[in-house]
Amino acid sequence: MKMTNRWNTFIYRLWAPVYDATVDHFFMPGRRQAMQALALQPGERVLLVGVGTGADLPLLPTGARAVGIDLSPDMLARARAKLPLLGREVILMQADAQLPLFAPGSFDTAILNLILSVVPDGAACLRAAMDTLKPGGRMVIFDKFLPDQSRPGFFRRLFNFFSTFFGTDITRRFSDMTAGSPHQLLKNDPSIARGMYRLILLQKNQL
């Protein structure tokens, strides 16, 4: 099944009431690792792409200034219920993460947790987020990817047929999304599920 915004809006309407109580317990260790790797400093502006139900929001350090975007109004309603957060400035917006939404250089950092495998066009999503970063800005990614240069086998493609119905694609390679992206790779480490999920840290090139 091909991922589309229309389908994602529908399927995440169903996920929204149960997401925090079910699958996010599995993802929380990876989220914590990502926040630690980003090393967000007080006062830095951070863009949370695919903020979902706001599971990353309580992990933000005191002094953080955050903007969270998500396509799903139902997921965003759950995120808004987590606000306000003492000592943290958070703005939430409904938006398509594949589109350029902010002026270049608007943010010091970006968090893309579990979104590049969800949006129809992961490369467009990553590119749009990278454009918002200042030169030298940092981006952390926690998501599932195929190893570079590998192709999904029969059973993975078969399972992916069903996983896309639930709003995620398990056949994507990170390297396919980064061609021409102006960045340095600082970290690409295994995370949860025996390395099926990766923790990736990028730094935007200086001018």
Domains present along the chain, CATH in parentheses? 5-204 (3.40.50.150)
pLDDT at 1: 74
Asked whether residue 11 carries a pLDDT value surpassing 90, the answer given is yes
Asked whether residue 14 carries a pLDDT value surpassing 80, the answer given is yes
pLDDT at 160: 80
**Buried (b) or exposed (e) across 108-124, using 16+ Cβ within 10 A?**
bbbbbbbbbbbbbebbb
How many Å apart are CA 207 and CA 200, to the nearest integer?
Answer: 22
pLDDT at 97: 97
Tell me the mean pLDDT in the region 135-155: 89
Q: What are phi and psi of 47, to 5 degrees?
A: -100, 120
- Give the angle subtended at the CA of 165 by the CAs of 49 and 151, to the nearest 5°: 80
Binning pLDDT at 50, 70 and 90, where does residue 180 land? confident
Cα four-point dihedral sign 93, 45, 78, 32: positive
Strand order through the sheet with 183-190: 89-94, 65-70, 45-49, 107-113, 133-144, 197-204, 183-190
Write down the pTM of the prediction.
0.95
How many Å apart are CA 10 and CA 146, to the nearest integer?
Answer: 26
pLDDT at 103: 97
The rounded mean pLDDT for the chain is: 94
Cα four-point dihedral sign 67, 72, 77, 78: negative
pLDDT at 40: 95
Cα four-point dihedral sign 32, 36, 40, 42: positive
Binning pLDDT at 50, 70 and 90, where does residue 191 land? very high
Nearest residue to 111 via CA among 7, 170, 33: 33
pLDDT at 142: 98
Identify whether the C-beta of residue 69 lies closer than 8 Å to the C-beta of residue 47.
yes
Asked whether residue 122 carries a pLDDT value surpassing 90, the answer given is yes
How many Å apart are CA 52 and CA 119, to the nearest integer?
Answer: 12
Binning pLDDT at 50, 70 and 90, where does residue 155 land? confident
pLDDT at 83: 97
Tell me the mean pLDDT in the region 37-51: 96
